[in-house]
Amino acid sequence: MEDLDRVNFWKGKRVFVTGSTGVVGLNLVNRLVSYGAEVTALVRDWVPQATHLGGWLSADSDVNIVRGELEDYFFIQRVISEYEIQNIFHLGAQTIVNVGNVSPVTTFKANIEGTWNLLEAVRVLKGYSGTVDSVCVASSDKAYGSSKILPYTEDMPLCGEHPYDVSKSCTDLIAQSYGKTYSLPVSIARMGNIYGPGDLNFSRIIPGTIRSILEEKVPEIRSNGTPIREYFFVEDAVNAYLSMAENTRTMNRYGEAFNFSSGEKMSVTDVVHRIMTTMGLQGEPVIRNTGRNEIQDQYLSIKKAQDVMGWQPEYSFEKGLVKTIDWYRRLLA
């Protein structure tokens, strides 16, 4: 969709974004605000640094900020009905693999219960004024689990093994169920490792490496450095979510999932070396090899999204990395 068409589509739309202070949520809300949408953003915890990217978090913003938790069904139902929501981006989740290992119950409650609460609220309110036109649910490539057959395609089974992966498999299946059983306009995004401006989780390899270099420390790799991943720039992720929402009704594929990725496969060590080279640092990172319960190799086929929606990634890793490093230089100056 061209920019003018996109502005015309979103102007005045009443949109609810969960996970609005995460890396995708921050950038998505910024984009929706620029298009003239009426955004309601769910904020659970206040993260002061998030204001460096989300101008909408300021006191004089036009964005409706609601404070609460996905685990509170009646809160979610109230927000959707009271603000007469038309489009929902369900990005809210506990997103860190190691946190899932340490605290599986809180991960399950946020990711699984939070998803059924939101979808049940949409189902209950279906048919009333302000009926929701689209619900875009964030799944993950982790939902597939380990597979000897790669790339992942959307028809492959979801076989998460460890807590975070299982929570995403369940999130995905619940979203499929509500879409297909109740004809709710639900679509599901399975994405790889997202990076870019707004990511404040420095346990992740890209922001963690950039911060280490800016602080004149030797970068560290938690794994043995060999896992293969795709690294997906946040602006491409935002475009993917917008494309799903814009096409949900016309696609008539309720409860279906779509893979989105960059198409560039790299080992963790390769990623760190490319960051070091871009930032003018020589040498080798420290390999800690302490990571546990990580899938070895993961990458996605995006043919379905290309064929059905005409979606394509716009950013190479090199192009996205330059913008990302520049943002962290300003953030951490």
Question: Would 51 be classed as within a structural domain?
Answer: yes
Q: Six-digit token pair at 277?
A: 């080279």
Query: For 6-15, what is the mean pLDDT?
Result: 96
Tell me, yes or no, if the pTM score tops 0.85. yes
Task: Give the chain's domain count.
Answer: 1
3-state secondary structure of 144: helix
Q: What is the pLDDT of residues 70-99, one digit of tens each?
A: 999 999 999 999 999 999 999 999 988 888
Question: Would 14 be classed as within a structural domain?
Answer: yes
Is residue 333 exposed (0-12), middle (13-18) or buried (19+ Cβ within 10 Å)?
exposed
Q: What is the pLDDT of residues 173-186, one digit of tens each?
A: 999 999 999 999 99
Q: Is the pLDDT of residue 50 over 70?
A: no
Q: For residue 158, what is the DSSP state?
A: P
User: At residue 125, what are phi and psi to the nearest 5 degrees?
Assistant: -85, -5
Give the pLDDT band of residue 187 (cuts 50, 70, 90). Answer: very high
- Cβ(70)–Cβ(116) under 8 Å? no
Task: Give the domain CATH number at 255.
Answer: 3.40.50.720
Question: Would 245 be classed as within a structural domain?
Answer: yes
Question: Would 215 be classed as within a structural domain?
Answer: no
Mark whether 164 is an active-site residue.
yes
Question: Would 283 be classed as within a structural domain?
Answer: no
Q: Is the pLDDT of residue 148 over 70?
A: yes
pLDDT at 95: 80
Catalytic residue, chosen from 35, 144, 164, 299, is 164
Q: CA-to-CA distance for 264 and 321, rounded, in angstroms?
A: 13
Q: Is the pLDDT of residue 129 over 60?
A: no
Identify the domain containing residue 309 by its residue range: 3-196+231-264+298-314
Lowest mean pLDDT among 47-51, 105-109, 314-318, 324-328: 47-51
pLDDT at 3: 81
- Cβ(162)–Cβ(98) under 8 Å? no
pLDDT at 263: 94
Which helix (H) or strand (E) segment holds residue 211: the answer is: helix 205-214
Q: Which residue pairs from 321-325 have beta carbons closer than 8 angstroms and sit at least 24 positions apart in sequence?
A: 321/206, 321/274, 321/275, 321/278, 322/278, 323/196, 323/197, 323/233, 324/195, 324/196, 324/197, 324/206, 324/210, 324/233, 325/210, 325/275, 325/278, 325/279
CA distances from 283 to 191, 215, 220, 223, 303 (A): 31, 16, 12, 18, 38
Question: Would 42 be classed as within a structural domain?
Answer: yes
Residues in the chain, total: 333
